[in-house]
Amino acid sequence: MKNTFLVTGSSGFIGYHLSNILLSKGFKVIGVDALTNYYDKNLKLARNALLKKNKNYIFYEENLENKNQIQKVFQKHNINIVIHLAAQAGVRYSITNPDEYINSNIIGTFNLLEIIKNLELQHLLLASTSSVYGANQKMPFEEKDKADHQISTYASTKKSMELISHNYSHIYKIPTTVFRFFTVYGPWGRPDMALFKFTKNIIQGKEIEIYNNGNMSRSFTYIDDLINNIYKLISIIPLDSQPLNINDSLSPVAPWRVVNIGGNQKIPLMKFINILELELGINAKKKFLDLQLGDVIETSSNNKLLEYLTGISPKTDIKKGIKLFVNWYKNYINLTK
Ligand SMILES: NC(=O)c1ccc[n+]([C@@H]2O[C@H](COP(=O)([O-])OP(=O)(O)OC[C@H]3O[C@@H](n4cnc5c(N)ncnc54)[C@H](O)[C@@H]3O)[C@@H](O)[C@H]2O)c1
């Protein structure tokens, strides 16, 4: 029998793409999303409408904070793999709205763990973030590095989620993979993230705000690379066994592992903007600002463990990735005019 997946945050950027690939492979996907209004809800509805065209997609507009309602979803369906992507995302918003992060990321994840603790789940996969590496100076970030100095509420709630999932994995023997994603971009991307905001403002002739005077860099990760790696990791189930003969992050006391998924190149922000300007054929009006509270200056992903596990790593060229985003964006804006 084919697996039935629960994807939380299925109407979000990553959840949409992941649900799509699962449906295309013939799996049943139970999508749960609260359709929060953190950013334009129409974009979430548009993604969800596309998914709903597939009869194997069943959607519930529910909030993970509402445990009873989520419990009912599990009672209705025979779910054997859970991919938990729902979260209150965003670093800067977490400084001004911390309660949303505690509720969504900590209480929401805790509720999910409480519901699944007694099920015979094949695999639980959770989305964490490169932001948990916080103030770490050692580059590139590696899974076994200490990650104890988060500098935003977003990052500390994600780190908390990682920790709670570890103890549930230990006590209830839940095979768990925690992903640390690095700045994901591509079609159907998030309006609160740099590429979307920059593209929109440059096309409209408005200023773009460049933090830390442009002295930042990121392991930008193209969405298809991310999804292909997640897809492979679904069937790489951490079990109570010996760690791999490399720098594996497998826990010594639980079937639990953390894996980075990040672009294989660290791109300076000004280079990123320059590629976007060339793609749009417009010079951006630039407003240089100081480093924003909560932001880290640099992220860089060590993908050795990922490559070892999946045999692939994110390689899409940044120029190609930006081009694919811009094409999608122009098309989407025309459709919604
Ligand atoms: N996009 C990135 O660059 C990136 C980087 C690192 C980590 N992540 C993590 O990956 C996951 C997916 O991110 P995304 O970029 O698709 O974000 P997104 O905001 O597009 O998707 C998250 C979805 O979760 C839903 N949601 C939020 N709180 C909820 C709740 N309490 N109950 C039910 N649904 C809820 C939202 O409505 C949204 O549709 C998140 O956990 C995020 O923290 C993303």
pLDDT at position 74: 98
Q: Averaged over 316-321, what is the pLDDT?
A: 98
Cα of 290 from ligand 1 centre, angstroms: 27
158 CA: nearest ligand 1 atom: 43
Distance CA 131, CA 183 (A): 10
pLDDT in tens, 132-144: 999 999 999 999 9
pLDDT in tens, 120-135: 999 999 999 999 999 9
In the predicted model, is pLDDT for residue 242 greater than 80? no
Containing 6, the helix (H) or strand (E) segment is strand 4-8
Q: What pTM, to 2 d.p., does this model score?
A: 0.98
In the predicted model, is pLDDT for residue 337 greater than 80? no
Task: Say if ligand 1 is within 6 A of residue 11 CB.
Answer: yes
Task: Say if ligand 1 is within 6 A of residue 14 CB.
Answer: yes
33 CA: nearest ligand 1 atom: 34
pLDDT at position 73: 98
Q: Give the pLDDT band (50/70/90) at residue 243.
A: confident
128 CA: nearest ligand 1 atom: 7
In the predicted model, is pLDDT for residue 162 greater than 90? yes
Active site residues: 154
Residues 208, 273: contact at Cβ < 8 Å?
Answer: yes
pLDDT at position 1: 64
Task: Say if ligand 1 is within 6 A of residue 43 CB.
Answer: no
Residues 174, 116: contact at Cβ < 8 Å?
Answer: yes
Q: Averaged over 329-337, what is the pLDDT?
A: 90
Q: Give the pLDDT band (50/70/90) at residue 244.
A: confident
DSSP letters along 32-90, please? Answer: E----SSS-HHHHHHHHHHHHTSTTEEEE---TT-HHHHHHHHHHS---EEEE------
Domain ranges, ordered by start, for the chain: 4-182+220-264+299-315
- Identify the residue whose C-alpha is closest to ligand 1 atom 11: 85
Q: Averaged over 38-45, what is the pLDDT?
A: 97
pLDDT at position 239: 87
DSSP summary character for residue 252: S
Nearest Cα residue to 256 out of 174, 157, 171, 160: 174
Cα of 133 from ligand 1 centre, angstroms: 19
Any idea which architecture 4-182+220-264+299-315 has in CATH? 3-Layer(aba) Sandwich (3.40)
Higher pLDDT, 71 or 335: 71
pLDDT at position 240: 66
Residues 60, 30: contact at Cβ < 8 Å?
Answer: yes
In the predicted model, is pLDDT for residue 241 greater than 80? no
Q: Give the pLDDT band (50/70/90) at residue 272.
A: very high
pLDDT at position 15: 98
In the predicted model, is pLDDT for residue 202 greater than 90? yes
- Identify the residue whose C-alpha is closest to ligand 1 atom 38: 12
154 CA: nearest ligand 1 atom: 43
For a mutational test of ligand 1's pocket, the pick from 6, 11, 13, 185, i.e. the residue with the most ligand atoms closer than 8 A to its C-beta, is 13
In the predicted model, is pLDDT for residue 149 greater than 90? yes
Task: Say if ligand 1 is within 6 A of residue 127 CB.
Answer: yes
Q: Averaged over 203-229, what is the pLDDT?
A: 97
- C-alpha distances (whole Å) from 62 to each of 11, 252, 312 are 12, 35, 34
In the predicted model, is pLDDT for residue 8 greater than 80? yes
